[in-house]
Amino acid sequence: MSSLKKQSGSLQEKAGISPPEITNSAAISQIQINRRKQPSSDELIKGILDQNRTALSRAITLVESTHPEHAEKANDVIKGCLPHANRSIRIGITGVPGVGKSTFIEAFGKFLTALGKKVAVLAVDPSSSLSHGSILGDKTRMEELVKDENAFIRPSASGDTLGGVARKTRESIILCEAAGFDTIIIETVGVGQSETAVHSMVDFFLLLKISGAGDELQGIKRGIMEMADAIVINKADGDNIKKANQAKLEFNRALHLFPPKKSTWQPKVTTCSAITNDGIPEIWDTISSYFEMTNETGYFQEKRKDQNQFWMIETINEQLKLNFYNKPEIITQLEQNKKAVQNDELSPFAAAQRLLKLYFEERTK
């Protein structure tokens, strides 16, 4: 069975088809979850804590489900996993399409599993709802990692809003951690606001770049550079090595112009090749020294606490919005009010007030 097919279990589960078998014999012996029956939340929690991948996959599918009935069960599973989560490092990786994210994650992930780490790869890609997750198509670029029993790769959740996709990924992080994964890699394609969402759920943020023709800094969003804890210039191999080193100098110079980070960490610029593996161990050294430093200063925990607060507020915002826009009366009234605003019969502010009033009145009925 192809690796691609093997990993599409969650999607097949969603479609009501039983998931494909897992070829790893150790995993098979671990499976206690009856696939035909819907496992209870307690069974899922137990399975996850037993490091059972089928349980983990099913729980993530539950978290990703938009079915209202699943939400409560998903919450129960997360609650049960929470005391066992948090013991990991979370690394975000971003970069424009084609920069080599998937190839890099394959190389870096293999390097980490060789060190004895357990690596989970998740993705935030709201655009993937149509294509069922670009990371899934990328499985061919992660051929080795897919087969690695110390790695778990999951395509991006689908969803209409970035907030929704990001929440699901964040909850999946908790599940992966409870299942014993100690290194979580979150990939996102560098478009839209998805980097900001990923930045707010990871400890270390890595920006992947490739060298161009001396115009490295052009077209790069200032905000992304400010978020980066490391900039890695990929594809530093063959004829590209010289250009990559020049780019490194330029980025280093540019980074020094930014105000110091709250963490007091000075972002590093390095080069690597995801094909030859050159520079990959050095990236891990950089990340390790970041964790050492932020653990010593207490910044690591402080940032996670801030992130938890942030996600609480984000979730409230997201749910309120969903609740508002899904109300049938609001759907009808919204259209009418939009027209009224367009025809200058009503000010935008008055229209908004009118709709909100209607919403709150409906709520108190």
Ligand X SMILES: Nc1nc2c(ncn2[C@@H]2O[C@H](COP(=O)(O)OP(=O)(O)OP(=O)(O)O)[C@@H](O)[C@H]2O)c(=O)[nH]1
CB of 138 to ligand X, least distance (A): 5
DSSP 127: G
Q: Which is nearer to ligand X, 97 or 298 (CB)?
A: 97
Contact stretch for Mg ion (CB under 5 A) within 35-43, 93-101, 108-116, 209-217: 93-101
Output 75 or 131, the one with its CB closest to ligand X: 131
Nearer to ligand X, 275 or 293 (CB): 275
Strands 119-124 and 89-95: unpaired
The verdict on 106 binding Mg ion (CB under 5 A) reads: no
Residue 41 CB contacts under 8 Å (≥ 6 apart), including other chains: 73, 76, 77, 80
Residue 159 interacts with which of Mg ion, ligand X, none, CB < 5 to 8 Å by class: none
Nearest to 10, CA basis, from 136, 106, 109, 131: 136
Give the three-state DSSP class for 268: strand
Specify the residue, 121 or 175, whose C-beta has the smaller distance to ligand X. 121
- Taking CB under 5 A as the binding criterion, the range among 24-32, 86-94, 98-106, 296-304 that sits at the site for Mg ion is 98-106
Tell me the pairing of strands 230-234 and 89-95: unpaired
**H-helix or E-strand containing 228?**
none
Interactions with Mg ion, residue window 115-154 (CB under 5 A): 138
**157 touches 169 (CB < 8 A):** yes
- Least distance from Mg ion to the Cβ atom of residue 102, Å: 3
Select the span of 100-108, 248-256, 324-332, 345-353 touching Mg ion (CB under 5 A).
100-108
User: Residue 356: CA atoms inside 13 Å, Cβ hemisphere, count?
Assistant: 8
Residue listed under structure tokens 């690597």: 272
What six digits make up the tokens of 87? Answer: 């013991």
CB of 69 to Mg ion, least distance (A): 34
Which residues sit at the interface with ligand X, rule CB under 6 A? 95, 97-103, 134, 138, 141, 189, 234-235, 237, 273-275
Which CB atom, from 190 or from 267, has the smaller least distance to Mg ion?
190
Smallest gap from residue 142 Cβ to Mg ion (A):
9
State the minimum distance, in angstroms, from the CB of residue 96 to ligand X. 7
The residue of the chain with the least Cβ separation from ligand X equals 100
Least separation in angstroms between residue 316's CB and Mg ion is 32
Write down the number of H helices and E strands in the chain: 17, 7
State the nearest-atom distance from the C-beta of 36 to ligand X, in Å: 35
Shortest Å distance, C-beta 95 to Mg ion: 9
Of all residues in the shown chain, the one whose CB is closest to Mg ion is 102
Specify the residue, 108 or 152, whose C-beta has the smaller distance to ligand X: 108
Smaller CB distance to ligand X: residue 104 or 290?
Answer: 104
- 184: helix, strand or coil: strand
Size, binding site for Mg ion by CB under 5 A:
3
Q: List the structure tokens of 149.
A: 């029993």
Residue 75 or 196 having the CB closest to ligand X:
196
Q: Could you give the CA distance from residue 194 to residue 32 in angstroms, rounded to a whole number?
A: 37
Q: Which two tokens stand for residue 50?
A: 């037993």
Chain centre distance of CA 253:
30
DSSP state of 213: S
Q: For Mg ion, which residue of 102, 183, 188, 273 counts as binding (CB under 5 A)? A: 102
Strand segments (E) across the chain: 89-95, 119-124, 151-153, 183-189, 204-210, 230-234, 268-271
- Site of interaction with Mg ion (CB under 5 A): 101-102, 138
